[in-house]
């Protein structure tokens, strides 16, 4: 038996729990591994509460990011063998949820876990950087001439957006609500940081870019927040919305202004994008090389034991974290 995180309805309300289940056997093209560490994502909470685009199934397992050591491979698997260290690329299918002490994942959604990398970073890598890679390189081709606006930059995906934009040579403007995290974001590579509760966002964007405006916005907030920076975008700029941290599931903007200036506002998720094998293999190749070379390193906020899963998710709900929240299992070093 193995302990795993579960979602279910208790008195008609969604609830998290730890359950004991049999690990199961990998089918053809699948790999089973003992999980050492699990990366938490806000998508987990959306799935728990029935607000994710993947329909919630009660009961089911939860969790889309983990790393571990292979203990069984299914028929036809040649890429990995028993004893190999692997990291899972997020896959939004509750049949393959991996929060807990074991995971079973289709082989195409696994990547090597480099020897020098600790478990708490290996489980935190793919959502953090895969989310940014898709808009930066698949939907556009970010260049050193571009300036990127990364909103809610202290989140794990936000920090991934900062790191990856800098790796590609772009200038980065990061946002945070107050000045408390400014120094930390500058340490992580942001060229400029704007505290949106204290400074006029669009005006500061124009000042920083000498009036040219920002070419790409990487935004998990959505709602009416988009209006606060539209005037700071360059004509023809692209906005990629990958969340709704603002609490409003809509995207609000003046259509006439957007059309007149040739702006593009695109909601997207990395998980459906990575379902395309071509996109997934391109992303894996680029990011694996950067990971193994030490050019990208996830920022880990806090590490909890699996048994403290409630405290870990409560910490995520608080919105105070800087980087990735991780849980470790009994198999971790």
pLDDT in tens, 241-274: 998 887 777 788 888 889 999 999 999 888 889 9
What pLDDT score does 33 carry? 98
Which residue range is the domain that position 181 belongs to? 127-271
Predicted confidence (pLDDT) per residue in 47-61, tens digit:
999 988 899 999 999
73-98: average pLDDT? 96
Q: HSE (CB half, 13 Å, CA atoms) of 220?
A: 24
Do 225 and 315 reside in the same domain of the chain? no
Do 114 and 176 reside in the same domain of the chain? no
What pLDDT score does 75 carry? 98
- Is residue 29 situated within a structural domain? yes
Do 261 and 164 reside in the same domain of the chain? yes
Do 152 and 252 reside in the same domain of the chain? yes
Q: Lowest-pLDDT range, 9-13, 115-119, 224-228, 247-251?
A: 247-251
Do 207 and 324 reside in the same domain of the chain? no
What pLDDT score does 271 carry? 87
Do 154 and 254 reside in the same domain of the chain? yes
Do 144 and 118 reside in the same domain of the chain? no
Do 85 and 134 reside in the same domain of the chain? no
Do 51 and 37 reside in the same domain of the chain? yes
What pLDDT score does 325 carry? 97
- Is residue 280 situated within a structural domain? no
Q: What is the CATH number of the domain that holds 206?
A: 3.40.50.720
- CA dist 206 and 71 (Å) reads 54
What pLDDT score does 260 carry? 93
Q: Is 92's pLDDT higher than 90?
A: no
Predicted confidence (pLDDT) per residue in 204-222, tens digit:
999 999 999 999 999 999 8
- Is residue 285 situated within a structural domain? no
Do 146 and 237 reside in the same domain of the chain? yes
Q: pLDDT above 70 covers what percent of the chain?
A: 100
Do 43 and 68 reside in the same domain of the chain? yes
- CA dist 119 and 333 (Å) reads 8
Q: How many domains is the chain built from? A: 2
- Is residue 98 situated within a structural domain? yes
Predicted confidence (pLDDT) per residue in 13-37, tens digit:
999 999 999 999 999 999 999 999 9
Judging by beta carbons within 10 Å of its beta carbon (0-12, 13-18, 19+), is residue 115 exposed, middle or buried? exposed
- Is residue 287 situated within a structural domain? no
Do 91 and 133 reside in the same domain of the chain? no
- CA dist 228 and 130 (Å) reads 27
């Amino acid at each position: 038996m193995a302990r795993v995180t579960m979602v279910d309805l208790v008195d008609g309300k969604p609830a998290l729990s730890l359950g004991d289940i049999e690990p199961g056997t990998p089918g053809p093209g699948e790999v089973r591994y003992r999980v050492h560490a699990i990366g938490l994502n806000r998508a987990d909470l959306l799935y728990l509460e029935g607000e994710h685009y993947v329909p919630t199934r009660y009961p089911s397992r939860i969790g889309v990011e983990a790393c571990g050591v292979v203990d069984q491979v299914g028929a036809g698997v040649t890429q990995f063998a028993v004893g190999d260290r692997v990291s899972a690329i997020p896959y939004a299918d509750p049949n393959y949820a991996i929060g807990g002490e074991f995971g079973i994942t289709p082989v195409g959604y696994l990547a090597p876990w480099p020897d020098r990398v600790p478990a708490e970073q290996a489980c935190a890598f793919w959502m953090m950087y895969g989310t940014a890679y898709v808009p930066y390189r698949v939907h556009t081709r970010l260049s050193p001439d571009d300036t990127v606006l990364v909103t809610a930059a202290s989140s794990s995906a936000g920090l991934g957006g900062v790191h990856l934009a800098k790796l590609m040579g772009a200038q980065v403007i990061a946002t945070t609500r107050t000045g408390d995290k400014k120094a930390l974001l500058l340490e992580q590579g942001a060229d400029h940081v704007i505290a949106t509760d204290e400074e006029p966002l669009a005006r500061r964007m124009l000042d920083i870019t000498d009036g040219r405006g920002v070419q790409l916005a990487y935004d998990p907030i959505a709602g009416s927040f988009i209006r606060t920076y539209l005037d700071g975008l360059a004509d023809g700029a692209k906005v990629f919305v990958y969340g709704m941290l603002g609490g409003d599931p809509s995207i609000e903007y003046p259509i006439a202004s957007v059309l007149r200036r040739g702006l593009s506002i695109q909601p997207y998720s990395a998980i459906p994008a990575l379902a395309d094998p071509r996109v997934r293999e391109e992303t894996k190749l680029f990011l694996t090389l950067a990971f193994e070379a030490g050019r990208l390193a996830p920022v880990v906020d806090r590490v909890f034991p699996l048994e403290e899963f409630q405290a870990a998710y409560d910490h995520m709900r608080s919105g105070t974290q800087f980087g990735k929240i991780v849980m470790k299992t009994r198999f971790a070093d």
